[in-house]
């Protein structure tokens, strides 16, 4: 029998031992030749269990280190443009069985066994390397906080509630805050049955949202985060925002600037967003729950007649990058699957005033329309064309320049350049969505 170099009953011991993999690859721990012919990401976790921790691999849904109650996860990092690393994608935790889960409770769920206590091992993802040649750079022994547990429980119940309503096909990652129901299966073609509707649904799995995983990855460096949902009985972001902001509805921008604008530049283009953070009573730079849930705040200026004055922009894309992506792992899909907090200011006779806010997720059909616009854009780039869909040709989103000026260009496969562009939400679409009741 093999002697382990760590105590499998002790999470601390397991964690200390795991550090031997830092700045190394799994291949460094494999004696002799083994047959590894897969780049399959999912394999790496199992291979680490087998060849590094010397565990008998099983696919039971209990924790990997059973006696320590500890789950092992390996996950990839990507390089940031400005240096450093960040999680490449969400952390997938376990498949959702639509038929079984409707009879479960979160407290007794398989999922909870896995996510309560985890050893996360982060490696630098390099596309052309085999899984056993990926380099690990950081391990984190992570235990869920009580408040995060409460939020995940609520997330879990939201997802299961939708399945019980026969709406599994309408699930979206934006339905929830930390625990998302992400799609499984390649190319988006797979469908499976659901218990309370004839409509077939995408197979899905629970996952920590990328935004949530990111905060685990940088944990310890989050001095700039302020938690706002402190009471576990009051986990509703909408209520939190309403409690803070309702009393300012109707106040003019000028008077809000007078009250909250101390030290802020009136000319800053994000001044209205900065004011709202102060109206929310947030002292630090970021709201912890917003960051973890990946909530996007956007200021919407609307005219006297209620029409938004502008479309809403997003970061510019890089043509040569997005043609190598699928819709499923595209940045724009991540955006349309996000929750938004719209902060609304309306023009009045004496400047604009704070009109209110709306916590919003894009409806299912409109996410399909966004996918169409994205696919059209990628197809055109592949053909070296730049006649992307205009606002007049779409109902939800369009493509338009987004650069510091027209000397900032992007490149087509054939080397020709064009002004940097991004996806925009149509102003008319925003108007329609804002006019809906919540």
Partner DNA sequence: GCATGATCATGC
| Chain residues in the site for DNA (CB under 7 A) | 81-82, 265, 267-270, 272-273, 285, 296-299, 301, 303, 307, 309-316, 390-393, 398, 400-408, 419-420, 427-428
Cβ(149)–Cβ(37) below 8 Å: no
Using the minimum distance from each CB to DNA, give the nearer residue, 51 or 342. 342
Written as six digits, the tokens of 215 are 């905060």
Backbone φ, ψ for residue 300 (5° rounding): -120, 115
* Smallest gap from residue 288 Cβ to DNA (A): 16
Using the minimum distance from each CB to DNA, give the nearer residue, 1 or 81. 81
Using the minimum distance from each CB to DNA, give the nearer residue, 60 or 269. 269
SS3 77: strand
* Smallest gap from residue 88 Cβ to DNA (A): 16
* Smallest gap from residue 298 Cβ to DNA (A): 4
Provide the CB-side half-sphere exposure for 423 (13 A, CA): 26
Distances (CA, A) of 106 to 101, 114, 208: 9, 12, 15
Using the minimum distance from each CB to DNA, give the nearer residue, 243 or 307. 307
343-381: b or e for each residue (b if 16 or more CB lie within 10 Å)?
Answer: bbbbbeeeebbbbbbbbbbbeeebbebbbbbbebbbebb
* Smallest gap from residue 354 Cβ to DNA (A): 13
d(C-alpha 85, C-alpha 332), whole Å: 20
Using the minimum distance from each CB to DNA, give the nearer residue, 382 or 390. 390
Written as six digits, the tokens of 148 are 């995060």
Using the minimum distance from each CB to DNA, give the nearer residue, 109 or 426. 426
Using the minimum distance from each CB to DNA, give the nearer residue, 105 or 284. 284
Cβ(300)–Cβ(353) below 8 Å: no
* Smallest gap from residue 250 Cβ to DNA (A): 19
Cβ(83)–Cβ(34) below 8 Å: no
Is 302 exposed, middle or buried (CB count within 10 Å of its CB: 0-12, 13-18, 19+)?
A: buried
d(C-alpha 148, C-alpha 155), whole Å: 10
Alpha-carbon torsion 273, 279, 281, 287, what sign?
Answer: negative
Using the minimum distance from each CB to DNA, give the nearer residue, 144 or 403. 403
* Smallest gap from residue 136 Cβ to DNA (A): 26
* Smallest gap from residue 382 Cβ to DNA (A): 20
* Smallest gap from residue 30 Cβ to DNA (A): 39
Provide the CB-side half-sphere exposure for 159 (13 A, CA): 29
């Amino acid at each position: 029998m093999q002697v382990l170099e760590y105590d499998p009953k002790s999470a601390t011991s397991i964690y200390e031992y795991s550090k031997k993999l830092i700045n190394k690859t799994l291949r460094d721990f494999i004696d002799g030749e083994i047959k590894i012919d897969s780049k399959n990401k999912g394999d790496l976790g199992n291979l680490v269990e087998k060849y590094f921790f010397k565990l008998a691999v099983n696919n039971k849904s209990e924790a990997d280190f059973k006696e320590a109650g500890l789950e092992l996860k390996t996950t990839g990092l990507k390089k940031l443009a400005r240096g450093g690393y960040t999680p490449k994608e969400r952390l997938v935790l376990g498949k959702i069985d639509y038929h079984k889960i409707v009879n479960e409770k979160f407290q007794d769920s398989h999922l909870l066994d896995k996510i309560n206590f985890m050893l996360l091992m982060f490696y630098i993802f390099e596309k052309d390397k085999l899984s056993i040649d990926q380099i690990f750079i950081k391990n984190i022994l992570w235990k869920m906080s009580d408040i995060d547990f409460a939020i995940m429980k609520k997330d879990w119940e939201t997802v299961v509630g939708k399945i019980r309503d026969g709406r599994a096909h309408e699930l979206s990652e934006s339905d929830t805050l930390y625990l998302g129901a992400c799609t499984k299966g390649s190319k988006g073609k797979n469908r499976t049955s659901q218990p309370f509707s004839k409509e077939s649904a995408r197979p899905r799995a629970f996952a920590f949202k990328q935004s949530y995983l990111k905060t685990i990855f940088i944990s310890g460096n989050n001095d700039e985060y302020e938690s706002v949902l402190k009471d576990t009985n009051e986990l509703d972001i909408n209520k939190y925002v309403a409690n803070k902001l309702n009393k300012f509805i109707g106040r003019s921008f000028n008077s809000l600037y007078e009250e909250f604008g101390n030290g802020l530049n009136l000319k800053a283009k994000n001044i209205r967003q900065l004011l709202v953070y102060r109206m929310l009573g947030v002292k630090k730079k970021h709201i912890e729950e917003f960051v973890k849930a990946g909530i996007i705040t956007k200021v919407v200026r609307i005219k006297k007649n209620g029409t938004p004055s502008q479309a809403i922009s997003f970061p510019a894309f890089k043509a040569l990058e997005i043609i190598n992506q699928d819709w499923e792992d595209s940045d724009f899909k991540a955006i349309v699957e996000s929750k938004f907090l719209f902060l609304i200011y309306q023009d009045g006779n004496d400047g604009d005033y704070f009109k209110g806010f709306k916590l919003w997720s894009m409806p299912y059909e409109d996410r399909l329309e966004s996918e169409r616009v994205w696919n059209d854009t990628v197809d055109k780039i592949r053909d070296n064309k730049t006649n992307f869909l205009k606002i007049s040709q779409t109902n939800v989103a369009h493509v338009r320049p987004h650069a510091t000026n027209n000397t900032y260009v992007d490149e087509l496969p054939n080397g020709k350049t064009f002004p940097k562009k991004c996806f925009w939400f149509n102003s008319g679409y925003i108007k329609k969505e804002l006019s809906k009741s919540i």
